[in-house]
Structures are given as structure tokens and as C-alpha cells.
């Protein structure tokens, strides 16, 4: 009855400790708030979309804004509708039945409004209606219902602990015996065994113990006459395992101590101490077994050292492989992927089936040689970094921006038609022209090509986009030209090529 009550108290303590720890963690905000994380991710997506919208607002291009919003909603189903509202409250752009979905309740968490300013003056707000966040998963339950979930977890820990302790207690049987009943069996044991009385004197030991300690006689001796050290061999053991067992009657198992003898190396021993003839929680003696684990410990220490060296070597190899992978696939100066990665990405997109229609934007910095000649190669490197940063910032995906060589870049746009690709290129062109670097105004020319079918070779895209880029260069630079608008294609190159206003 007392043991069952003790098991109950231990299990209850574990359950209360788990509940307290989880309650403190919840109070301190250590539980992840999955709902807030999802809201923050959606806000970040909406904010990243505000830049291209503001660029179209400067030129009063509401149809282009509507097209961008439709493309944005198609890529992100967690946004139900979107719209552009002026500061006077007039909704000029409505995508996805935004007028019907939007509510004027400022406390509604599904309403997201981003203020946009032009020339330092507020121009209006970009509005998004968010879809409801799915309320699934244990993580969500801990976020919304922390109290019941903590109590349920604590109760589970209590029941599991009580079951394990009770099962272990039923199996435990304290070894019992007497000096007389074990005397005849001692010498048959290969393990060193001895028995001490209540005063700590060795009253019986076997031949293995005599061989281990050099005491072959059967005379009464005190165990304290030997030099017992800790496992490191640096300090004497204050309380030996059998002395502790004599004091409280509890068995000790698997304790490692050292035995030091003159002229010999330190021997490491694994000690098991079991009380004998327990009466009134006070043992009459203790049976002790000593297992020599010196060689085992030396091998274990050597294995630990080897494993440590292997982990260190593995980490170094992984780091080197990561560096080699970056050098093989990326341009170290601009952070864009290189020409080799372009072909790998193209093949991967074709294999995935998510390819056509596919557009390619080629970008070439205007008069870049003049920048290097007049301002130095250090400034030229800054210009390349600046252009690369703008390309990666305005491209739909950073993994689709490549530096082909020199001052030439390209952006691969799978599943994006010619019109949308032209709008992206125009936004990038304006961003480059309107953002000087180190006081130096830089422009770039662009060539576009769009495939409406899947082609196993990317050379058609590169070749035709380069022809369109060549036309932009010879048509005044700082402009965007689509391959379909070239004279040899349709006879009029002015329908898709625009000079900045």
C-alpha cells in the first residue's frame, strides 16, 4: 500500500512539473503562435507587392495594376480579393469581388490595408481580403486552447509515469541471502566478489577478488585499506558504494571507481552493491561485485575521440561541398545564379511540366564599358551588384535570376505570358533608371522572348531574346523590346517597345 502511494506521488509530481513547465512556457510566449506567423507571412507578401504597384501609380496605369493584382491572387490563394482605393475612399481597382468582400471593420483580422505614398504625399491604400486561416493541427490547438491542452498533456504524463513506475516496482525483487548460503558459490564466480559486514570489514571474498587485489588469504580485512579513487583517478572516493548501501539500505549498480596499487596502472572497476538480510531498513551486510572495465573504458575513450574527429571531418566536408556548390552554381559578385544554373533550371522546369508559356527577359547594362573606363572597375562591380539586387528584388522568384556573363543578365519566367513579362521588365527598367548608385545614374536595355509551347532546348529563348535586346540597344537604349515586335517578325517594332517618358 505504501509503495503504491509512493508511486502515485511520484507520478503526480511529474504531471505537475510538466503542467507548470508548459504553463510558464505559454505565459512567456515560448509556444509558437502559428496563426500570427501566418498573418505575418501574408503581410510580408502584400508589402513586397506594393513597390511595383506604386511604380504604375506614378503613371496612372490602372489596367496594369489590375493585371498585377489578378496575377498576385492567382499565385496566392490565401488572398481572396484585392483592390486599390484612393485616399478619398473611392475604389478604382476591384479584383476578386473586392467591393463585396471588404468590410469597414478595422478590427477584422482578415482585412489588410497598405498605405501607398507618391511624392511624399498619401495616394491611397492597397487593400487585400485574406482567406480564413485553417484551424487544424496540434500546434494550432496549443495556440488557441493552451489551458485544456496543457492539462491533457500533464494528465497523460501522470498516467504514463504511474504505469512505468508501477510496472518496474512489480518486477523489482531485492536480492536476499546470507553469508552462509553464498559462501560455497563465491569461488565459482569469474567476477571479483566480496562481502562486508556492518562495520565495513571484508568477511568473505572469492579467488577473483584476491587475484585483482593481491590478497589471496582469507583473513579478515578492512576494505578501506585499499586506495579507491574516482573514475578519473584524481581524487579519493569519500563514500564508497557499499558504505552508502550500509547507511540507507539501497542497492547501488554500475558505479565506476578506480583501484590504485603500487607499481601498477589504475584499474577501472564497475561496482554493484546489494544489501543482505535487510531488517528494519538496516542491512546486516553488503554483497559487492567488481568488474574490471579498464580495457573497455580505454576503448570507449578512443572511440569517443575517433567519433569526434569523424564528426569534425564530416562538418568540414559538408562546408566545403556547400562552398563548392555555391561557386559552381552562383555568381559570387551579384548573388545571382550563373549560366550553368540557367540550363539546369530550364531542364528542371520542363521535367516538372510547369513550363509553358515561358518568357525570358534579357537585360544588358547600357554603356557599361564607359563606366569601367571612366570610374574604375570597383565602381563597375558596385553597378553590377546594384543591378543584380534590383533584378532579384523585382523578379517573381530569386531562383530564376541569372548572370550570363559580363553586364548581361536574364530572368526566366515560367507560366508567365508575354504581356505580364513585359510589365515586369518595364518595372525593372524604371527601377534601375530611377535609383542611382554612388551618384551614378545607370540604365539598361531589355529583350523579351515568349514560348507558348514546350521546347527541349533553351537556345531558342536565348537567341530570340538576344535579338530583341540588340534592337533595344540600336533603338536608343533604356527600353524594352519583345521579339514578336521586331520588324522581321511583324513589320513594326514600335508596338511593344517604349522609351521612358
| Rounded-to-integer distance, Cα 261 and Cα 432, Å | 82
Q: Is 191 a catalytic residue?
A: no
Q: Is 313 helix (H, G, I), strand (E, B) or coil?
A: helix
Pairing of strands 358-365, 267-279: unpaired
| Rounded-to-integer distance, Cα 35 and Cα 134, Å | 9
Q: Residue 401: which H helix or E strand, with range? A: strand 401-405
From the list 200, 346, 223, 197, the residue with the least C-alpha distance to 276 is 197
Sheet bearing 221-222, strands edge to edge: 221-222, 201-205, 192-197, 282-292, 267-279, 252-260, 227-229
Grid coordinates belonging to 324: 563548392
Grid coordinates belonging to 428: 525593372
Q: Residue 425: which H helix or E strand, with range? A: helix 418-433
Q: Is the dihedral of CA 351, 355, 356, 360 positive or negative?
A: negative
* Alpha helices per DSSP H over 274-376: 294-329, 339-352, 368-375
| Rounded-to-integer distance, Cα 224 and Cα 240, Å | 9
Grid coordinates belonging to 128: 487585400
How large is the angle between the packed helices 377-394 and 34-57, nearest 10 degrees? 110
Q: Residue 203: which H helix or E strand, with range? A: strand 201-205
Grid coordinates belonging to 33: 503562435
- Contacts of residue 409, defined as CB under 8 A and 6 or more positions apart, other chains included, come to 334, 336, 362, 363, 364, 387, 388, 391, 401, 402, 403
Choose the catalytic residue: 66, 127, 407, 423. 407
Q: What is the DSSP letter of 266?
A: P
| Rounded-to-integer distance, Cα 148 and Cα 446, Å | 60
Q: Is 191 helix (H, G, I), strand (E, B) or coil?
A: coil
| Rounded-to-integer distance, Cα 483 and Cα 466, Å | 9
- Which residues are the active-site residues? 407
Amino acid at each position: 500500500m505504501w509503495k503504491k502511494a509512493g508511486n502515485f506521488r511520484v507520478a503526480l509530481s511529474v504531471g505537475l512539473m510538466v503542467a507548470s513547465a508548459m504553463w510558464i512556457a505559454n505565459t512567456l510566449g515560448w509556444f509558437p503562435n502559428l496563426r500570427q506567423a501566418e498573418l505575418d507571412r501574408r503581410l510580408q507578401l502584400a508589402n513586397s507587392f506594393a513597390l511595383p504597384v506604386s511604380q504604375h501609380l506614378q503613371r496612372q496605369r490602372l489596367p496594369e495594376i489590375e493585371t498585377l493584382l489578378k496575377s498576385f491572387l492567382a499565385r496566392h490563394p490565401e488572398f481572396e480579393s484585392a483592390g486599390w482605393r484612393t485616399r478619398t475612399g473611392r475604389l478604382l481597382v476591384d479584383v476578386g469581388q473586392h467591393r463585396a468582400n471588404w468590410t469597414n471593420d478595422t478590427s477584422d483580422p482578415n482585412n489588410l490595408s497598405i498605405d501607398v505614398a507618391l511624392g511624399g504625399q498619401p495616394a491611397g491604400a492597397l487593400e487585400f481580403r485574406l482567406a480564413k486561416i485553417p484551424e487544424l493541427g496540434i500546434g494550432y490547438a496549443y495556440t488557441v486552447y493552451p489551458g485544456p491542452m496543457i492539462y491533457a498533456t500533464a494528465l497523460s504524463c501522470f498516467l504514463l509515469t504511474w504505469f512505468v513506475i508501477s510496472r518496474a516496482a512489480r518486477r523489482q525483487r531485492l536480492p536476499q541471502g546470507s553469508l552462509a548460503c553464498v559462501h560455497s558459490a563465491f569461488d565459482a564466480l569469474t567476477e571479483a566478489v566480496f562481502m562486508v559486514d556492518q562495520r565495513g570489514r571484508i568477511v568473505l571474498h572469492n579467488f577473483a577478488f584476491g587475484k585483482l587485489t593481491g590478497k589471496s588469504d582469507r583473513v579478515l580485512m578492512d576494505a578501506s585499506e585499499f586506495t579507491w579513487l574516482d573514475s578519473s583517478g584524481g581524487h579519493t572516493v569519500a563514500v564508497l558504494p557499499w558504505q552508502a548501501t550500509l547507511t540507507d539500505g539501497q542497492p547501488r549498480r554500475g558505479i565506476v571507481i578506480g583501484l590504485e596499487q603500487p607499481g601498477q596502472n589504475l584499474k577501472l572497476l564497475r561496482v554493484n552493491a546489494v544489501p543482505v538480510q535487510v531488517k528494519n531498513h538496516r542491512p546486516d551486510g553488503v554483497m559487492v561485485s567488481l568488474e574490471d572495465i579498464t580495457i573497455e573504458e580505454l576503448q570507449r575513450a578512443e572511440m569517443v575521440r575517433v567519433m569526434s574527429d569523424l564528426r569534425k571531418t564530416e562538418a568540414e566536408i559538408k562546408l566545403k561541398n556547400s562552398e563548392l556548390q555555391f561557386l559552381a552554381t552562383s555568381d559570387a559578385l551579384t548573388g545571382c545564379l550563373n549560366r550553368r544554373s540557367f540550363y539546369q533550371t530550364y531542364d528542371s522546369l520542363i521535367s516538372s511540366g510547369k513550363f509553358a508559356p515561358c518568357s525570358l527577359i534579357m537585360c544588358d547594362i547600357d554603356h557599361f564599358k564607359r563606366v569601367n573606363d571612366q570610374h574604375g572597375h570597383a565602381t563597375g562591380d558596385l553597378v553590377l551588384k546594384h543591378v543584380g539586387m534590383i533584378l532579384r528584388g523585382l523578379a517573381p522568384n530569386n531562383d530564376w535570376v541569372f548572370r550570363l556573363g559580363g553586364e548581361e543578365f536574364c530572368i526566366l519566367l515560367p507560366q508567365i505570358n508575354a504581356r505580364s513579362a513585359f510589365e515586369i521588365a518595364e518595372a525593372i527598367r524604371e527601377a534601375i533608371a530611377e535609383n542611382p548608385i554612388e551618384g551614378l545614374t545607370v540604365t539598361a536595355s531589355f529583350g523579351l522572348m515568349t514560348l507558348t509551347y514546350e521546347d527541349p532546348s533553351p537556345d531558342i529563348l536565348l537567341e530570340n531574346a538576344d535579338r530583341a535586346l540588340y534592337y533595344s540597344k540600336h533603338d536608343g537604349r533604356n527600353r524594352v523590346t519583345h521579339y514578336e515586335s521586331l520588324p522581321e517578325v511583324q513589320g513594326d517594332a514600335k508596338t511593344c517597345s517604349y522609351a521612358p517618358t
